[in-house]
Amino acid sequence: MKTPFILLFILGLLSASACKKETEVDALPKATQEGKHTFGCLVNGKAFLPESAQAISITRRKPLEAYVYRTDLLVSAMGQGYVEFALRNAFKPGTYLLGKTSSGSYGTYTEGAGRHYTDADHPGTVTLTRIDTVAKIASGTFQFTAFAYHSGEIVTITEGRFDTRLK
């Protein structure tokens, strides 16, 4: 009588260890610093990745863009919505705070007609791990909370990572 119980127990352990549930974070690209031109984050817990260029070919924008203008950095990605952040005076690695758009360092999330912004009550951070204007690479991690002024909706962006080629 003990033998069937032991066999069932062992089979249960084996099947539990063989099933590895993939999470939303697993769908995101790895955090690298090589200019792989990758971007990903979780928007309210759901994976957000840029669409392929063919999927949004009717717009002039590319699915993933990164620019440096003087010492400011702008990174934007289009997928099922639009995630963007800008950093003022981002000329060296470090952690930068995101706040009001008037500060020059801010984050936004847009989906449909809803546009969400960081502000003093809904801040965030970007940690630049590499900014290299010679090799044209900007890499790092980010997270922020954004607020829609019209609807009051709050969107949480977490687990963000980017490894972009600069234009």
- Domain annotation covers residue 9: no
- Domain annotation covers residue 10: no
- Domain annotation covers residue 17: no
- Domain annotation covers residue 13: no
Q: Which two tokens stand for residue 49?
A: 């990745």
pTM of the model: 0.82
DSSP element (H, E) containing 161: strand 154-165
In the three-class reduction of DSSP (H, G, I as helix; E, B as strand; rest coil), residue 79 is classed as strand
- Domain annotation covers residue 6: no
Q: pLDDT value at position 96?
A: 97
What is the rounded CA–CA span in Å between residue 91 and residue 42?
26
CA 38, chain centre distance (Å): 10
- Domain annotation covers residue 7: no
Q: Are 12 and 130 in contact (CB under 8 A)?
A: no
Q: pLDDT value at position 119?
A: 96
Collect the ranges in the chain with pLDDT lower than 50.
1, 7-8, 11, 13-14, 16-18, 20, 55-57
- pLDDT tens per residue across span 40-84: 999 999 999 999 755 444 556 689 999 999 889 999 999 989 999
Q: pLDDT value at position 112?
A: 85
The count of domains in the chain is 1
- Domain annotation covers residue 57: yes
What is the rounded CA–CA span in Å between residue 125 and residue 156?
12
Q: pLDDT value at position 7?
A: 47
Q: Kindly calculate the radius of gyration of the chain based on its CA atoms and give it in whole angstroms.
A: 20
DSSP element (H, E) containing 5: helix 2-18
Please give the residue range of the domain that contains residue 80.
Answer: 23-165
- Domain annotation covers residue 18: no
